[in-house]
Chain A
Amino acid sequence: NAGVTQTPKFQVLKTGQSMTLQCAQDMNHNSMYWYRQDPGMGLRLIYYSASEGTTDKGEVPNGYNVSRLNKREFSLRLESAAPSQTSVYFCASSEGPPSGANVLTFGAGSRLTVL
């Protein structure tokens, strides 16, 4: 049971480089989310997707783009990485709509360092 799979687990970028974080879930969940976790800040929602083909901004969307490629996959792209985007990124999914009434299943995280 893979659940939510994130790749890569670790990445080091230079300022200005671009990269895409990949997320896939095999639970047939409808909703998917991207969070970032920073020391002393807790987890903050970047973007979410209620269904295939739809995406919406969360609390901290600036500097990021997302794609809900299909029901299984939700990618997060950094077009021009900045040191402020150094963080641990978590992908999550839930069966129902993103109303918060669902149990979220989280991936193991992707640790990104921007130099």
Chain B
Amino acid sequence: GIQVEQSPPDLILQEGANSTLRCNFSDSVNNLQWFHQNPWGQLINLFYIPSGTKQNGRLSATTVATERYSLLYISSSQTTDSGVYFCAVSAGGFKTIFGAGTRLFVKA
């Protein structure tokens, strides 16, 4: 099946810093999503982005499907950005596979 690799596995930032999270996938995908799991366990959908670039406030994402990777950019990080960021892909239909996540801690 399709493999999803996220990097880095852990990231510590000072509040106000910028960061880039990466998601590599092993096969062509028709569906790619980014999620944030907050410290209380809630999973929030950030982007549905099988290709191209999207922006939402301080967050933006870019997927280059032909090169099988996606990037999530966080600018001017805040302590509320802490948590785990997951990339999730499906190669066909709706069977969506999650990566292991990037654990982010933003220090005040």
- Do the two chains bind? no
